[in-house]
Amino acid sequence: METTEDVGRVLVIIPTYDERENIESIIGRVRVSVPEAEILVADDASPDGTGELADRIADGDDHVHVLHRSGKEGLGAAYVAGFRWGLERGFDVLVEMDADGSHQPEELPRLLTALEGHDLVIGSRWVNGGRVENWPKKREALSRGANTYSRLLLGFPVHDSTGGFRAYRATTLTKIGIDEVTSQGYCFQVDLTLRTVRSGLRVAEVPITFVERTHGASKMSRDIMVEAFLKLTQWGLEHRLGRLTGRPDA
């Protein structure tokens, strides 16, 4: 079994906006599940004091760091900022994880193990063994539909390209050009998946159990869903046009 020592230095990036009720618990669970890993809380100036609470935790734990951002700029921007922070400090693996407990830290060792022979590992809800708990049927149908739409339109084999629990090798993020990424939400995850596949890199999916948050409100909005639909459609049309012109990855 591959450990964090095998994959190198691991940074778990946890974006936050009004996650005061969740942040202490999720940090504690990560520290127990992967003790060698370090954590970066990327806080978008949460009005509820999430950033200040994260600072107090970091003061007592040298494996926890806090990146204070100027305002609510979106999930994609927070992750890109976190990636840059980690790459500048020489981390070998950068992990995306939600703050609300929907991603189980106890499953992170399996994602890191799967990095052996791969460049990106996605914790997948929609492969054999993956599942969701306490999700409304409407939300499940939306996620399944978005992923099927992405897979068919963009021509790649990934079943959960919108999934936000994932581990990247640093070399992957460097190669796919994260500084060029401006998309958010569902779209951000699909964008990075597509860039990874089209760069000829290796993607693995590991089944996970996704648990609906118990505290706080979801950050998913109508604007994020509309952006995702429009972007996916644009990328899909470009992909099909590229196949017709002999440039499928343009």
Q: How confident is the model at residue 234 (pLDDT cuts 50, 70, 90)?
A: confident
Q: Say if residue 134's pLDDT is above 60.
A: yes
Residue 58 lies in a domain: yes
pLDDT of residue 230: 72
Q: Given the structure tokens 């996916």, which residue do they identify?
A: 232
- Residue 25 pLDDT exceeds 50: yes
Whether 183 is covered by a domain: the verdict is yes
| Rounded Cα gap, residues 250 and 240, in angstroms | 10
pLDDT of residue 242: 64
Per DSSP, which regions of 128-208 are E strands? 131-133, 166-169, 203-207
- Res. 81: pLDDT tops 90: yes
Residue 9 has pLDDT above 80, yes or no: yes
CATH number of the CATH domain containing 203: 3.90.550.10
The band of 68, judged by pLDDT with boundaries at 50, 70 and 90, is very high
Per-residue pLDDT, 221: 58
Mean pLDDT of the chain: 89
Q: Which of the given ranges, 99-103, 185-189, 222-226, 246-250, has the highest pLDDT on average?
A: 99-103
Q: Would you say residue 250 lies in a domain?
A: no
Would the pLDDT of 2 be above 50?
no
pLDDT at 118 over 60: yes
Residue 234 lies in a domain: yes
Indicate whether 235 pLDDT > 70.
no
Q: How far apart are alpha carbons 225 and 142 in whole angstroms?
A: 10
pLDDT bucket at 1, cuts 50 / 70 / 90: very low
What is the total count of domains within the chain? 1
Q: What is the pLDDT of residues 158-213, one digit of tens each?
A: 999 999 999 999 999 999 999 898 787 678 899 999 999 999 999 999 999 999 87
Residue 228 lies in a domain: yes
Residue 203 lies in a domain: yes
- pLDDT at residue 30, rounded to an integer: 98
When pLDDT is averaged across residues 105-133 and rounded to a whole number, the result is 97
Q: How far is CA 69 from the centre of its chain?
A: 18
pLDDT band at 89 (very low <50, low <70, confident <90, very high): very high
Task: Answer whether residue 214 shows pLDDT above 50.
Answer: yes
Contacts for 193-201: CB closer than 8 Å, 24+ residues apart: 193/120, 193/122, 193/156, 193/158, 193/161, 194/154, 194/156, 194/161, 194/235, 196/119, 196/120, 196/172, 197/156, 197/158, 198/249, 199/172, 199/175, 201/119, 201/120, 201/172, 201/175, 201/176
- Answer yes or no: is pLDDT of 113 > 50: yes
- In terms of residue numbers, what domain contains 150? 4-245
